[in-house]
């Protein structure tokens, strides 16, 4: 099976290369903001938006008026226009409404709302944004990883050392080449994260992927907060709660940041420290979810999981932090694309299906579990006593099999 995959590596540009990358980031912001303003003026006048082909021609004129744009790789600016065109396409297809947060801010400040404040409308980019990025296309071998293998004298194993990646306008940059990429490279995205570190993400296609062997088994999964999930096979995945684990230290560092003077060097140093703690939590959570999702895909051919309204659940102020810390949406996303790669069925059961209220043995429905403090399900008809979460997982499995058939 041929799949598309991304490979992310840490890069270490020198001072000159960092300046060149900053020039590319600035050029991208300038082009994005320029054409966004043009489209906003046309949108306000109820005229047709400028399509990508016309924006590409106008970009040539813009370069003539601003020669410094030639210092940027041309594919970076072309990809910027494509991203803007696709952003407006998504905005036009979506619902035109204001978010609750936007409405509350307008009521508090007395500011009149415009179409720019609508949900999904493209926003202007700023050099103050903590994350900066640009995307360049692969053409004529302009992006190339230069490997260098060094052999250990004692163990005889090989390791990568002093590897570099050739990037347009930036030349050879040191790269932590932890694993070789596969397939055919089509683009590379350079990202400067909030902690000041640089990364390159290589998008590759036509990668040969061997699907995992079929097992003939299926499972139902009930998500939770005390434990991450419960399965119909009586398996429990503990919730590591990484944010709670590092919360005290993060609060301490955030307090230090709030006391620093704005615009000072000490404030920027402290901001980087806070960003590193958030990055640690994010990486721990993503690693945990990758391990769980891969394990499920390898063991089951059919996975049925309850469909959660995560966006609505986060509005609960008592549980919002715990729900966001769990990373349910990322877990669903990984299960879905890994299932497609391995020809496994991953299906969500209707969120309005009363999986916790139905007896998994006789099918009798009771409203006793509407109270979340009730952890044991006792059936009034057949007398079954079972943990409410395992009971829900079994019901999700049965409902999933019914709908799949």
Q: Which residues are catalytic?
A: 222, 306, 389
Q: How far is CA 228 from the centre of its chain?
A: 19
Nearest to 79 by CA among 60, 52, 42: 52
**DSSP state, 157?**
-
**DSSP state, 365?**
B
Distance CA 355, CA 203 (A): 40
Distance CA 328, CA 224 (A): 9
CB of 192 within 8 A of CB of 198?
yes
**DSSP state, 223?**
E
CA torsion angle for 260, 262, 264, 268 (degrees, to 10)?
70
CA dihedral sign of residues 211, 217, 218, 224: negative
Strand partners, 238: 227
Q: How many CA atoms lie within 13 A of 82 on its CB side?
A: 10
Residue 46 CB contacts under 8 Å (≥ 6 apart), including other chains: none
């Amino acid at each position: 099976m041929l799949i598309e995959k991304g490979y992310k590596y840490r890069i270490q540009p020198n001072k000159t290369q960092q300046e060149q990358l900053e020039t590319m980031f600035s050029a991208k912001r300038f082009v994005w903001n320029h054409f966004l303003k043009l489209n906003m003026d046309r949108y306000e006048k109820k005229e047709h938006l400028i399509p990508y082909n016309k924006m590409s021609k106008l970009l040539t004129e813009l370069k003539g008026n601003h020669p410094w744009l030639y210092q940027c790789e041309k594919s970076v600016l072309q990809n910027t226009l494509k991203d803007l065109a696709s952003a407006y396409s998504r905005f036009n297809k979506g619902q035109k409404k204001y978010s609750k947060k936007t409405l509350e801010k307008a009521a508090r400040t007395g500011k009149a709302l415009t179409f720019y404040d609508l949900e999904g409308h493209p926003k202007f980019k700023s050099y103050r944004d903590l994350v900066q990025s640009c995307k360049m296309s692969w053409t004529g071998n302009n992006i190339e990883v230069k490997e260098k293998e060094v052999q250990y004298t004692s163990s005889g194993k090989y390791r990568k050392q002093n590897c570099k990646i050739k990037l347009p306008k930036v030349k050879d940059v040191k790269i932590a080449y932890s694993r070789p990429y596969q397939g055919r490279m089509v683009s590379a995205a350079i990202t400067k994260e909030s902690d000041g570190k640089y990364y390159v993400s290589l998008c590759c296609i036509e990668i040969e992927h061997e699907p995992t062997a079929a097992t003939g088994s299926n499972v139902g999964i009930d998500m939770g907060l005390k434990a991450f999930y419960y399965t119909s096979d009586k398996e429990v995945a503990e919730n590591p709660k990484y944010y709670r684990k590092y919360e005290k230290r993060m609060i301490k560092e955030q307090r230090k940041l709030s006391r620093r003077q704005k615009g000072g060097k000490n404030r920027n140093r402290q901001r980087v420290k806070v960003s590193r703690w958030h990055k640690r939590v994010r990486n721990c959570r993503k690693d945990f979810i990758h391990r769980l999702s891969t394990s499920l895909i390898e063991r089951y051919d059919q996975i049925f999981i309850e469909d959660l309204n995560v966006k609505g659940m986060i509005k609960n102020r008592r549980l919002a932090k715990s729900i966001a810390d769990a990373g349910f949406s990322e877990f669903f996303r990984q299960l879905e694309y890994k299932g497609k790669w391995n020809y496994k069925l991953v299906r969500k059961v209707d969120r309005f299906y009363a999986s916790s209220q139905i007896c998994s043995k006789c099918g009798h429905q009771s409203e006793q579990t509407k109270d979340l403090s009730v952890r044991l399900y006792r059936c009034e008809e057949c007398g079954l006593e079972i943990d409410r979460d395992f009971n829900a997982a079994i019901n999700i499995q049965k409902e999933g099999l019914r709908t799949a058939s």
